């Protein structure tokens, strides 16, 4: 034992003497050139050093104002270090090992640019010599008992971390443990971070990292240049494993409080639970929970054309309603049957089953059961059943994903129009049994969509509209008065009910145009042509009305000619149409009815005499002439 103590004492004295001799003979500036040369070769960039100091008890190196150049002369420095301190443990040197007692870096500023694909652009070390010196058999010859990084700044493309602090150690067996934390300006924080290292100094280096993160989604959306509005705060654990420089796996389990996403008029708000796993093939498997609904997705991030797979699952729409904005109160369910989405260009493969999905329409609902089927650039609705106001209809629809153009085919048979309008608008001025066919295509705006169709409304009624009353206007009282002299009641000709309303039509430029709109009453037929506004139902029509012989006879017309009345215009709206007639035509017609009845003439002569009856006739003619 005494012998060992003596040997240790001799070695200690020798070490002290060696340190003193080294201090007397070595100038720190003589080390600058070899240090810069080796550092520049190892990093692959030019390295600059400021002040350089050596200490010998214990052995230590302190360097200030270290600068590693950027990729080009115009680029900012890749790294800047305010101060670097190295302390060496002397005894392991006798065993051929370098053990750094401590490594401390202060005011580190590291800038790592990203390429167009978002990958880090790191310096490349200079090529190794043709005949490198053999490494020791035991491999690792470097260890660090204590690593300390304080007040560092890390820039990774647009991402920035400040007040980065790290402490840890590296062992001789190639393992290590480092704890870290950082602030992400405006974005959030990283706390309780820990990295476990293994295989340092070998070709199988691995790192396992985990931390607690807190992220502001509004800042994240801005950094990712997202078009959608995004708000909320995500907190929870994240972890990653890296093997030989490649990501093997990453995980996140986040609670998102106050989540709010908005695209145009549509939004989603609530608290989310998000879980995600990214494997070495860059396949992201994610799960999002919102209340009782869960959506699972798989995203192939590593593919040349990234794809999203929505995994099989079910969404109850009624449970989503409290969290949706700008979306009507939907009911029913969606059953995802594995749907693949590709983004460039947008493509869909797969199907979504719709089960009793109810779409609200002002006062009621339209209900669909069927499937949404994706076939490349086309998304098609295959409706097994489609009901509006509880009445069946036939609906086919598709959308071209790249252009946004839609194609719609709609058909009804004997549909109760009054019930439909009451459901759609809460009122029904128009009623009848509707048979309808239409096929439309183009951009999904009223001003741009186009197509053709036909309709027939049977046994209908336009509330508040009588064709005869509209025809005669102010003159209607005269034919009624004249006919009443003959004991006739013409009130039935003012009925609002009609036999049929039909037309073939074309739709373009936000208008429905027709050349054969026909409105048939028992006593008259209106034949019209013109246009109807799709948005406001405004009428711009013209045509003619043909009265039945029964009306002519009732009103006392004796010429025997069919009465055809030109219509200068039909204005107003579909719910409240208004006729505009030529006043001269009306005056002539009223005059013919008023004074052309032989029976009326005879009754007047009998009542007041022939001469007085002639005077009355002249008076009526004069009144109507002025009425023109």
Mapped onto helix, strand or coil, the DSSP state of residue 610 is helix
Position 93 pLDDT exceeds 80: no
List the chain domain ranges. Answer: 42-113+147-154, 450-627
| φ, ψ at 311 (rounded to 5°) | -75, 160
Position 14 pLDDT exceeds 60: no
pLDDT bin (cut points 50, 70, 90) of residue 441 is: very high
Give the β-pairing of 313-316 and 331-343: antiparallel
Average pLDDT over residues 531-538: 89
CB neighbour list of residue 623: distance below 8 Å, 6 or more residues apart: none
* Beta-ladder partners of 374: 350, 379
Average pLDDT over residues 378-397: 89
Classify burial at 464, counting beta carbons within 10 Å of its beta carbon; exposed 0-12, middle 13-18, buried 19 or more: exposed
Residue 611, pLDDT score:
53
Of residues 303 and 272, more confidently modeled: 272
pLDDT digits (tens, 9 = 90+) for 172-214: 788 889 999 999 998 999 999 999 988 876 777 889 999 999 9
Q: Quick one: which of 528, 536, 456 has its CA closest to 498?
A: 456
Least confident of 104-118, 153-167, 271-285, 444-458: 104-118
Average pLDDT over residues 391-416: 91
Residue 98, pLDDT score:
58
Six token digits for residue 278:
């990214």
Q: Find the radius of gyration of the CA atoms of the chain.
A: 45
Average pLDDT over residues 562-589: 78
Q: Which of 178-182, 315-319, 562-566 has the highest mean pLDDT?
A: 178-182
C-alpha to C-alpha distance for 271 and 262, rounded to whole angstroms? 15
Residue 134, pLDDT score:
47
- What DSSP letter does each residue of 324-380 carry, written as one string? EESS---EEEEEEEEEEEEETTEEEEEEEEEEEEEEEETTEEEEEEEEEEEEETEEE
b or e along 526-541 (b: 16 or more beta carbons within 10 Å of the residue's beta carbon)?
bbbebbbeeeeeebeb
Of residues 88 and 26, more confidently modeled: 88
Residue 171, pLDDT score:
82
Least confident of 133-147, 162-176, 225-239: 133-147
Find the distance separating the first CA and the last CA of the chain, reported in whole Å: 142
Position 461 pLDDT exceeds 70: yes
Classify burial at 133, counting beta carbons within 10 Å of its beta carbon; exposed 0-12, middle 13-18, buried 19 or more: exposed
Position 317 pLDDT exceeds 70: yes
Q: Confirm if 206 and 213 have CB atoms less than 8 A apart.
A: no
Residue 2, pLDDT score:
44
Of residues 218 and 554, more confidently modeled: 218
- Name the residue with tokens 């009901």: 387
Q: How many helices (H) and strands (E) does the chain have?
A: 11, 32
pLDDT bin (cut points 50, 70, 90) of residue 473 is: low
Check the CA dihedral 460-385-356-404 and report its sign.
negative
Q: Which of 113-127, 232-246, 562-576 has the highest mean pLDDT?
A: 232-246
User: How is the chain split among helix, strand and coil, in percent rounded to 5?
Assistant: 20, 55, 25
Least confident of 85-94, 397-406, 455-464: 85-94
pLDDT bin (cut points 50, 70, 90) of residue 330 is: confident
Of residues 133 and 365, more confidently modeled: 365
Q: Quick one: which of 25, 97, 12, 27 has its CA closest to 58?
A: 12
Position 316 pLDDT exceeds 70: yes
Residue 457, pLDDT score:
94
Residue 488, pLDDT score:
58
C-alpha to C-alpha distance for 620 and 625, rounded to whole angstroms? 9
- Name the residue with tokens 């790191």: 122
Q: Omega into 58 within 30° of 0, i.e. cis?
A: yes
Average pLDDT over residues 147-158: 90
Give the β-pairing of 142-156 and 98-112: parallel
Around 123, how many Cα atoms within 13 Å sit in the side-chain half-sphere? 23
pLDDT bin (cut points 50, 70, 90) of residue 486 is: low
Position 537 pLDDT exceeds 60: yes
Ranges of H-type helices in 439-512 = 467-472, 477-485
Average pLDDT over residues 379-402: 89
Q: Confirm if 63 and 51 have CB atoms less than 8 A apart.
A: yes
pLDDT digits (tens, 9 = 90+) for 27-77: 666 667 777 777 777 777 888 888 888 776 667 778 899 898 888 888 899
Residue 127, pLDDT score:
60
- Polymer length of the chain: 628
Average pLDDT over residues 381-402: 89
Least confident of 98-107, 499-508, 536-545: 98-107
Six token digits for residue 603:
């009754």
Mapped onto helix, strand or coil, the DSSP state of residue 19 is helix
Q: Which of 73-77, 368-372, 592-596 has the highest mean pLDDT?
A: 368-372
Position 126 pLDDT exceeds 70: no
C-alpha to C-alpha distance for 542 and 531, rounded to whole angstroms? 9
C-alpha to C-alpha distance for 75 and 47, rounded to whole angstroms? 14
Average pLDDT over residues 145-153: 89
Average pLDDT over residues 159-183: 90
Q: Confirm if 491 and 499 have CB atoms less than 8 A apart.
A: no
pLDDT bin (cut points 50, 70, 90) of residue 615 is: low
Least confident of 406-420, 490-504, 505-519: 490-504
Six token digits for residue 370:
């069927």
C-alpha to C-alpha distance for 448 and 437, rounded to whole angstroms? 19
Average pLDDT over residues 329-344: 84
pTM across the whole model: 0.65
Average pLDDT over residues 453-471: 85
Q: Confirm if 435 and 445 have CB atoms less than 8 A apart.
A: no
Residue 353, pLDDT score:
93
> Across the chain, what does the average pLDDT equal?
79
DSSP 628: -
């Amino acid at each position: 034992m005494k012998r060992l103590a003596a040997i240790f004492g001799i070695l200690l004295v020798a070490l002290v003497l060696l340190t003193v001799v080294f201090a007397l003979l070595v100038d720190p500036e003589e080390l600058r050139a070899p240090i810069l040369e080796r550092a520049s070769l190892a990093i692959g960039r030019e390295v600059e050093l400021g002040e350089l100091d050596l200490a010998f008890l214990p052995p230590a190196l302190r360097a200030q104002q270290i600068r590693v150049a950027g990729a080009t002369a115009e680029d900012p420095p890749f790294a800047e270090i305010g101060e670097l301190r190295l302390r060496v443990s002397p005894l392991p040197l006798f065993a051929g090992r370098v053990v750094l007692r401590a490594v401390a870096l202060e005011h580190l500023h590291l800038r790592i640019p990203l390429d167009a694909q978002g990958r880090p652009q790191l310096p490349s070390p200079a090529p190794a010599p043709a005949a490198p010196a053999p490494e020791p058999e035991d491999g690792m010859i470097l260890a660090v008992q204590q690593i300390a990084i304080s007040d560092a700044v890390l820039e990774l493309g647009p991402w920035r971390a400040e007040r980065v602090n790290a402490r840890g150690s590296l062992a001789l067996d190639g393992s290590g443990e480092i704890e870290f934390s950082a602030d992400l300006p405006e974005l959030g924080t990283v706390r309780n971070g820990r990295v476990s290292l293994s295989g340092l100094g070998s070709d199988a280096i691995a790192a396992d990292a985990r931390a607690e993160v807190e992220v502001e989604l509004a800042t994240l959306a801005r950094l990712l240049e997202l078009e959608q509005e995004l708000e909320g705060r995500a907190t929870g654990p994240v972890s990653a494993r890296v093997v030989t420089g490649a990501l093997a796996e990453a995980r996140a389990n986040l609670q998102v409080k106050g989540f709010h996403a908005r695209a145009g008029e549509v939004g989603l708000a609530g608290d989310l639970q998000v879980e995600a796993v990214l494997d070495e093939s860059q396949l992201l498997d994610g799960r999002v929970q919102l209340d009782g609904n869960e959506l699972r997705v798989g995203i192939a991030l590593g593919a040349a054309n990234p794809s999203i797979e929505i995994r099989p699952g079910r969404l109850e729409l009624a449970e989503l309603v409290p969290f949706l904005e700008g979306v009507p109160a939907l009911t029913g369910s969606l059953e995802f049957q594995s749907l693949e989405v590709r983004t460039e260009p947008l493509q869909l493969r797969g199907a979504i089953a719709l089960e009793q999905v109810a779409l609200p329409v002002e006062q009621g609902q339209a209900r669909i059961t069927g499937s949404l089927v994706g076939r490349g650039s086309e998304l098609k609705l295959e409706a097994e059943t489609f009901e509006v106001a509880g009445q069946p209809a036939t609906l086919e629809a598709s959308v071209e994903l790249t252009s946004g153009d839609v194609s719609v085919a709609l058909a009804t048979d004997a549909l109760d129009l009054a019930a439909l309008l009451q459901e759609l608008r809460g009122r029904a001025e128009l009623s009848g049994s509707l048979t309808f066919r239409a096929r439309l295509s183009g951009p999904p705006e009223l001003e741009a969509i186009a197509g053709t169709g036909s309709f027939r409304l049977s046994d209908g009624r336009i509330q508040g509209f009588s064709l005869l009353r509209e025809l005669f206007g102010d003159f209607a009282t005269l034919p009624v008065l004249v006919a009443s002299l003959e004991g006739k009641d013409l009130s039935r000709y003012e009925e609002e009910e009609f036999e049929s309303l039909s037309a073939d039509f074309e739709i373009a430029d936000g208008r429905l145009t027709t050349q054969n709109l026909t409105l048939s009453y028992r006593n008259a037929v209106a034949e019209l042509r013109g246009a109807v506004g799709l948005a406001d139902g405004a009428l711009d029509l013209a045509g003619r009305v043909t009265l039945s012989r029964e009306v002519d006879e009732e009103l006392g017309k004796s010429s025997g000619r069919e009465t055809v009345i030109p219509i200068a215009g039909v204005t107003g709206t579909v719910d409240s149409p208004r006729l505009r007639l030529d006043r001269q035509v009306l005056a002539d017609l009223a005059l013919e009815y008023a004074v052309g009845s032989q029976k009326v003439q005879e009754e007047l002569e009998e009542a007041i005499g022939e001469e007085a009856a002639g005077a009355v006739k002249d008076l009526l003619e004069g009144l109507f002439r002025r009425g023109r």
